[in-house]
Amino acid sequence: MHHPIALQDLHILLVEPSLPQSRIILRHLRSMGLDKIDHVVTGAQALEHMGLHPPDLVVSAMYYEDMTGVELITAMRTREALADTPFMLISSETHPHNLEPVRQAGVLAILPKPFVVEDLRVALHTTLDYIEPDRLELDQVDVEDLRVLVVDDSSFSLRHIRHLLAQMGIEQISEAHNGIEAAEQIRDEIFDLVITDYNMPEMDGQELVNYVRHASDQPELPMLMVTSERSEARLAAVRQAGVSAICDKPFNTVNLRELITRLLSHGQADTG
């Protein structure tokens, strides 16, 4: 896949308070030909630096002396100039509750400490796909005519997905913050695709799938669930309810585009 921007063109801001860990990350990045790297050790320094020199990618630890990675990405997402800046987390944090806000804020990748170098390479290419994604290509319909409904109670996650869809050439994008809002829109409008979260107030993703399949006028409507849910029992129930495909958060932009292409071309896709 050709990208006008190459890995070596990326301007990276590394936010890592540990000197040994920063040396490891810098060594691996430079071994891949990346040399446009700035390094700071606190969240305040990171935000100040980004205000003066917006990076192409932020590579961050989870904990610094003045804030957390969650607080940093939240601050970025609430600033218009940084709202869509790619963010990669490298952390030994594994507790789902602590990682969930980062997932919802549109993190591109979460790597463990220590990480596998190949996973870092994949995450960097994911960044390129996010910055300049390939346009969605469909045989049966013009991408500009697609009507997509995105359902998520996280405003950050909504913006993240909407940004990607727009970058792929989709222009008609509606939003809902929970299943009830989505059901109301599905009653009133015709959609080609629904992209929904699982965990939402009022009506969750599984209940929305059940509504569409059994109570709506669009029972065949393709439904893609993009979720950080890890419970296999819950995901199995969603599959049983009739979801068309399931995609993990954080997701690979290429995989998301391929899932959407298969759903809109054939009406079904592999889940996982």
Is the bond into 96 cis (omega within 30 degrees of 0)?
no
Helix (H) or strand (E) run with residue 13 in it:
strand 12-15
Rounded Cα–Cα distance for residues 39 and 253 (Å): 27
For 138-171, what is each residue's pLDDT tens digit? 887 889 999 999 999 999 999 999 999 999 999 9
The stretch 191-197 carries a mean pLDDT of: 96
The stretch 120-139 carries a mean pLDDT of: 90
Residue 78, SS3? Answer: coil
Return the higher-pLDDT residue of 260 and 139: 260
Q: Is the pLDDT of residue 45 over 90?
A: yes
CATH class of 143-266: alpha beta
Please report the pLDDT score of residue 5 as a whole number: 80
Token digits for 222?
A: 């393709």
Q: Where are the alpha helices (DSSP H) in 32-153?
A: 43-52, 69-77, 96-104, 117-131
Rg, C-alpha atoms of the chain: 19
| pLDDT mean across residues, the chain | 92
- Tokens 């969240």 correspond to 43
Rounded Cα–Cα distance for residues 63 and 141 (Å): 46
Q: What is the DSSP string of 142-199?
A: -GGG-EEEEE-S-HHHHHHHHHHHHHTT--EEEEESSHHHHHHHHHHS--SEEEE-SS
Q: Which one, of 20, 30, 122, 18, lies nearest residue 61 by Cα?
A: 18
Report the CATH architecture of 7-131.
Answer: 3-Layer(aba) Sandwich (3.40)
Beta-ladder partners of 233: none
First to last CA, the chain: 23
Q: What are phi and psi of 218, to 5 degrees?
A: -130, 60
Question: Other C-beta atoms within 10 Å of 253: how many?
Answer: 22
Q: Which one, of 54, 46, 116, lies nearest residue 83 by Cα?
A: 54
Q: Enumerate the CATH 3.40.50.2300 domain ranges in the chain, comma separated.
A: 7-131, 143-266
Please report the pLDDT score of residue 133 as a whole number: 85
pTM, two decimals, is 0.87
Residues 150, 195: contact at Cβ < 8 Å?
Answer: yes
